[in-house]
Amino acid sequence: MNLFAPDYYVKSFKSINLQRLHENGIQLLLCDIDNTLVAYDEVFPNQDVIDFVEKLKENGIEVALCSNSPSARGEEFSKHLSVSNAYTFACKPFPFCFKKAKKDYGLKASQIAILGDQMYTDILGGNIWGLYTILTAPIAIKDRKITKVFRFFEELLYGYLEKKNILKRGEFDD
């Protein structure tokens, strides 16, 4: 298995098929914020994000935010959502927030999914630590400076994965 290959590749959080999460025994979805749920400069969740969280909860899946952003960003964002936790300054791909989530919810890593737009943080971290990984196309082209550095290496990685027939950019599962 390639550590950068997601278990599930979607165009947007809106196209996630909950049936697929149920089939994989997922009970908690950890959501990255920037460029996964909203553009990085959007302070508040929009109605699509609010509806998405509600739909997951109605279907028996808990939702928590899991962002490398500073605490203030995550806390402000989470105030407007009925998520049960906001893990901020998470330092993905390191497992601090994954371990905390396992403990907080009493779950095994395999029962937790991580949804994010970056291979070097969200997907690599999730795969190393045994979570179910969901890669989404990033919402906006705009990025923080540090993210731009990661994007450069991500370009190379996409090229490699495409050559190996592991993942084709834009050929989403849903």
To 5 degrees, how large is the angle CA 111–CA 155–CA 42?
Answer: 65
- Whether the Cβ atoms of residue 13 and residue 114 lie closer than 8 Å to each other: no
Measured distance CA(125)–CA(130) in Å, rounded: 9
Look at the chain and count its residues: 174
Element (H, E) at 63: strand 62-66
Q: Is 154 in the site for Mg ion (CB under 5 A)?
A: no
- 99-128 mask for Mg ion (x: CB under 5 A)? ------------------x-----------
Q: Is 34 in the site for Mg ion (CB under 5 A)?
A: yes
**What's the closest the beta carbon of residue 92 comes to Mg ion, in angstroms?**
9
Only one of the segments 12-20, 30-38, 75-83, 153-161 lies at the binding site for Mg ion (rule: CB under 5 A); that segment is: 30-38
Q: Is 35 in the site for Mg ion (CB under 5 A)?
A: yes
Torsion angle of the four alpha carbons 156, 9, 67, 40, in this order, in degrees rounded to the nearest 10: 70
Q: Is 32 in the site for Mg ion (CB under 5 A)?
A: yes
Q: Which is nearer to Mg ion, 36 or 85 (CB)?
A: 36
Instruction: Please give the residue ranges that form the binding site for Mg ion (CB under 5 A).
Output: 32, 34-36, 117
